Amino acid sequence: MTDHRSSKGPIRIGTRGSRLALAQAHQVRDLLMAAHGLSEEDIAIVVMSTAGDRIQDRALSEVGGKGLFTLEIEEGLLSGRLDLAVHSSKDMATQLPAGLHLAAFLEREDVRDVFIGRTAPRLAELAPGAHVGSASLRRQALIRRLRPDLTLSIFRGNVQTRLAKLEAGAADGTLLALAGLNRLGMAHVATEILDADRFPPAPGQGAICVESRIGDERIAALLAPLDHRATRLELTAERALLRVLDGSCRTPIAALARCGADDRLDLHGMILTPDGTAMHEDRVSGPADEAEALGTALGRTLLGRAGPGFFEGWAR
């Protein structure tokens, strides 16, 4: 076994400070320890405060988008203060800073969203005019498409913050990712698991990714055993679709790729207007090793169907 210990000190993992982010960082640390015979002393978890965590009173689409969850951490990677960073893949912009790449994708968790109801257990059972809190434009658009009678508002914060707001009566229900609840051992709070075909997830949902510096061969060797091929192919397709659509927090976009046992990949993509009144979706299938081309093709198909005016005034 190659000795990955360094005289420079422990391997430094950068992460946000929420309970979920820390759970994900500890999962990566545990996998590294198991793969390479390392101890906890060989791997340090460095908590970074990000603008996305600090700004709680506005939608991310109003203040800069997904990069607010990664900027400070990526600066730590580029400066050498961090060796790798652990992220939720759905938080990652399609264009990374020069010199950085996504070196590993852990095996994907459940991709579905869940509804957590305070006054009714299912989204369809909420009373007319009931209030649902969500910070995601995708979730808001899908809810408006299914239940245009509901009242929606921005619900920012980590899992515990959102659940506390719900418990305090700030809304009749909210939505979260099942993957995050599973990682926190909190799946029991969900009152309804939403069907992924009818309520498709965000691109990258359910997958943890690890970011590192391009050319850092020591870190690349450490991360290689953690990279899950099927998840990488699925995320490659979803991120290619997102790239074509110029997706960010400003655009209600859903995508879900599934890599089958026959090494074929199925990709479902959807774009919506924020009010949910207009929607375009399609599916494509092909060899899994053509994941990027499949995602690019589906993105172009959706753009063509939507027409040049679809994103005007709200998608940038």
pLDDT tens column, 11-50: 999 999 999 999 999 999 999 999 999 999 999 999 997 6
- Number of folded domains that form the chain: 3
pLDDT in tens, 164-176: 999 999 999 999 9
Chain position carrying tokens 């690349």: 220
pLDDT of residue 261: 85
> Would residue 202 count as lying in a domain?
no
Cβ contact 51:65 at 8 Å: no
Please check whether residues 25 and 44 belong to one and the same domain. yes
Alpha-carbon gap, residue 202 to 36, rounded angstroms: 33
pLDDT in tens, 249-262: 467 999 999 999 89
Whole domain around residue 186: which residue ranges?
Answer: 113-193
Please check whether residues 96 and 138 belong to one and the same domain. no
Please check whether residues 217 and 80 belong to one and the same domain. yes
Amino acid letter, 107? E
Long-range contacts of 47-51 (CB under 8 A, 24+ apart): 47/15, 47/16, 47/17, 47/22, 48/14, 48/15, 48/16, 48/17, 48/72, 48/73, 48/76, 49/16, 49/17, 50/16
The residues annotated as belonging to the active site are 91
pLDDT of residue 142: 97
Please check whether residues 258 and 216 belong to one and the same domain. no
Alpha-carbon gap, residue 172 to 131, rounded angstroms: 5
CATH code (residue 212): 3.40.190.10
pLDDT in tens, 178-219: 999 999 999 999 999 999 999 999 999 999 999 999 999 999
Please check whether residues 19 and 160 belong to one and the same domain. no
Please check whether residues 33 and 100 belong to one and the same domain. yes
Nearest to 78 by CA among 209, 213, 220, 211: 213
Please check whether residues 27 and 143 belong to one and the same domain. no
User: What mean pLDDT, rounded, does the chain reach?
Assistant: 91
Cβ contacts of residue 228 below 8 Å, gap of 6+? 105, 106, 107, 108
Alpha-carbon gap, residue 173 to 189, rounded angstroms: 12
pLDDT of residue 250: 67
Tokens standing for residue 155:
């619900």
Nearest to 197 by CA among 267, 262, 252: 267
